[in-house]
Structure 1
Amino acid sequence: MRVFVAGASGAIGEPLIAELLKNGHSVVGMTTSEARTKILESQGAEALIVDAFHGAEVEAALRQAKAEVVIDELTSLPKEQSDMPKYAAGDRRLRIEGGGNLFRAAIASGARRYLQQSSGFFLKAAEGTLADESSPLDINASPSVAASARTYTELETRLFSSSAIEGVALRYGFFYGPKTWYYPGEAAANMVMRQQNPVVGRGEGVSSFVHINDAAVATVAALTAEPGVYNLVDDDPSPQAVWLPAFAKFVGAPKPPHRSETEVTAIAGEDVVYYATKLSGASNAKAKRVLGWKPRRLQWLEA
């Protein structure tokens, strides 16, 4: 199958390209980096340097690629989590404007299926339950979480707006593993090493993670599965009070401190409190059933 991957330089790009090639697919990776072009070619993929904000250029690339399936992994995220406020507007523009160009070009060039990166961690579920694929994104959350939820809602609405192409929404959990924030020496690990990420209040907010390689496996499985929405998360949705101390131990950091919601709101803002106390974990039952997917256990819960 001819597969076009936009965002081939992102966190999931390298393992996704590798998984596609391992499964015999012909892959064209879209990037803005000459250096990344060489890496993609060394993996065995074709590479095209394309500016997502130039619609004609994107369409020309897709016509050249003769893609049957387009995978939209477009993001613009910082290396450090603390820099997210500086990147938020650019990230949204890339996903909405650049991704819009990609979506329209996919239809115009005759691609039959479009896979869209979405979120499995900003979902809204009834208290004490896990979010499933019918759960909405929490557009009434704390300010930056609500903004992200609105962006993902727009992406999913666009994805299913046309009968001319099959849509698949990939609601990934928080990525962990090599070259992600949640890996020794990377952003989240460094924060817990410096004790900058406390357990907030009762730490009851439930996070769903997914190993970057498992996310790639599920994405490839979604190439031929029934269209629709899939929560791509592991089997271990965990409250912050459980996963954060375990993660700290895994990376060799001190035990995280405890802080009250009032204290953290004053110091770091509402969004940090939301992550710690309000997140709804997600169920992966559909992905396991339909995709035949078997994600690994959350790594630091095994440590």
Structure 2
Amino acid sequence: MPQPDEHGREDDSRDYSRDYSRDENSRNDDGRDVTVRGGSEHGGSEHDDPPEALRIFLAGATGVIGVRLLPLLLRAGHAVAAMTRSAAKADSLAAMGAQPVVCDVFDAEALREAVVAFRPDAVLHQLTDLPDKAEQVPEFAARNARIRTEGTRNLLAAAQEAGARHFLAQSIDWIPAGGGAVLEEHEQRVLKVGGVVVRYGQFYGPDTFYEHEVPSRPRIHVDAAARETVPLITAASGVFVLAEAQ
């Protein structure tokens, strides 16, 4: 059976003047119901909105989810360090009210210094390395796999040294062709230290591979995905699935 295409991309062109924040609810922008499935191995899938004034280190702040998460977090009163690889985007992130951090996740020492200096309560891993066009995804498979192996390892190490109490990492709600082992390693590494894994359905909507069409299931509108991620930041360790209801 053909697998859905990969989704999302980090550090590509965005309109930072756009307000991606919306009123939180459990529906997509087109009215489809969204479900949040999964949770703690100890039986807990309930979660509350994060308390006020968390210090959050957002890796992948200019990615398809990160650019939507950032205004939601700032509007909720959290202090956010917004990490990007692009120095050209630092001023835009600062203008939104975040503390910009220009860093490459593969520079382990620079990353450690940046995370430790910020002293975060929570670290969010929303990094990917994907192309602008869906048909180019196979060419980027090795690069994106490196994000999920070396990148995840570096970010987790930095978060642990900084004493962060929460760690959330994005994943996907399907098995990519040839990438199941990498995805499993990525998720297990996060869960082993008490983190949260969020498996998203295929993103559709502005700035995604599916801007003008709805992909096959599992799927979720990218704005709804960002909204539903926020309360999971302080959830008990486990795997959560964000996708439209069947």
TM norm structure 1: 0.61
C-alpha separation between the residues in 1 aligned to 2:149 and 2:198?
Answer: 16
What residue number does 1:81 align with?
134
Match of 2:225 among 215, 235, 243: 215
Match of 1:20 among 54, 70, 73: 73
C-alpha separation between the residues in 2 aligned to 1:224 and 1:157?
Answer: 18
C-alpha separation between the residues in 2 aligned to 1:52 and 1:230?
Answer: 24
SS of match in other structure, 2:203: strand
C-alpha separation between the residues in 2 aligned to 1:92 and 1:224?
Answer: 26
What residue number does 2:200 align with?
172
What residue number does 1:10 align with?
63
Match of 2:173 among 116, 120, 125: 120
C-alpha separation between the residues in 2 aligned to 1:43 and 1:177?
Answer: 22
SS of match in other structure, 1:224: coil
Give, in angstroms, the shift of residue 225 of structure 1.
2.3
What residue number does 1:274 align with?
none
C-alpha separation between the residues in 1 aligned to 2:160 and 2:177?
Answer: 30
RCO greater where, 1 or 2, for CA within 8 Å and sep 6 or more? 2
Report the residue type matching 2:228 in the other structure. A
Match of 2:237 among 193, 218, 227: 227
C-alpha separation between the residues in 2 aligned to 1:97 and 1:12?
Answer: 21
SS of match in other structure, 1:52: coil
Which 4+ residue blocks in structure 1 deviate beyond 4 angstroms?
A: none
C-alpha separation between the residues in 1 aligned to 2:244 and 2:74?
Answer: 24
C-alpha separation between the residues in 1 aligned to 2:71 and 2:95?
Answer: 11
Report the residue type matching 1:178 in the other structure. P
Contact 2:166–2:234 (8 Å) recurs in 1: no
Post-superposition CA distance 1:164-195 (Å, at most 9, x none):
xx3100001101111111113xxxx5xx9xxx
Q: How many residues align?
A: 193
C-alpha separation between the residues in 2 aligned to 1:35 and 1:233?
Answer: 33
C-alpha separation between the residues in 1 aligned to 2:91 and 2:59?
Answer: 16
Give, in angstroms, the shift of residue 67 of structure 1.
0.7
C-alpha RMSD of matched pairs (Å): 1.7
Post-superposition CA distance 1:195-214 (Å, at most 9, x none):
xx9xxxxxxxx611111111
Contact 1:92–1:151 (8 Å) recurs in 2: yes
What residue number does 2:21 align with?
none
Equivalent residue runs for 1:1-303 within 5 Å? 1-122=54-175, 145-162=176-193, 166-184=194-212, 207-235=217-245, 237=246
TM norm structure 2: 0.74
More helix by share: 1
What residue number does 2:10 align with?
none
Post-superposition CA distance 1:66-94 (Å, at most 9, x none):
11100001100000111112111111112
Equivalent pairs: percent with the same residue? 37
C-alpha separation between the residues in 2 aligned to 1:91 and 1:227?
Answer: 24
SS of match in other structure, 2:178: helix
Report the residue type matching 1:161 in the other structure. K
Structure 1: which 5+ runs fail to align? 123-144, 198-205, 238-303
C-alpha separation between the residues in 2 aligned to 1:155 and 1:79?
Answer: 23
Contact 1:121–1:207 (8 Å) recurs in 2: no
Post-superposition CA distance 1:245-298 (Å, at most 9, x none):
xxxxxxxxxxxxxxxxxxxxxxxxxxxxxxxxxxxxxxxxxxxxxxxxxxxxxx
Structure 2: which 5+ runs fail to align? 1-53
C-alpha separation between the residues in 1 aligned to 2:224 and 2:180?
Answer: 23
C-alpha separation between the residues in 2 aligned to 1:76 and 1:62?
Answer: 21
C-alpha separation between the residues in 2 aligned to 1:41 and 1:33?
Answer: 13
